[in-house]
Amino acid sequence: MSYDDVEIEDMEWNEELKSYTYPCPCGDLFQITKEELKIGEEIARCPSCSLYITVIYNMEDFTDQKPKTNVEPPKQQPVAVA
């Protein structure tokens, strides 16, 4: 069972760890990377103890969204009717 549910907005980005972090009661930090969030991971673990938290976030904020291009549908080809 998760120690707590924490919203991503309440976590801090740690440039050195390249992870979102949140204080753990043991004195270390719960950690989760952007790559983990992109694949749908929602568990941030503490490297020093067995506790973990559930991260609440919108997965769409972390997925690689390709810009939409204006693609026209293919033009219809004339068909000969016998």
Give the pLDDT score at 66: 54
* pLDDT over 70 (residue 12): yes
- State the average pLDDT for the chain: 88
pLDDT tens digits for 49-69? 999 999 999 988 887 655 555
**Residue 67: predicted pLDDT:** 52
- Region 34-44: what's the mean pLDDT? 95
Q: Which stretches of the chain are assigned E, i.e. beta strand?
A: 5-7, 12-14, 19-23, 29-32, 43-45, 52-56
- Strand arrangement, sheet containing 29-32: 5-7, 52-56, 43-45, 29-32, 19-23, 12-14
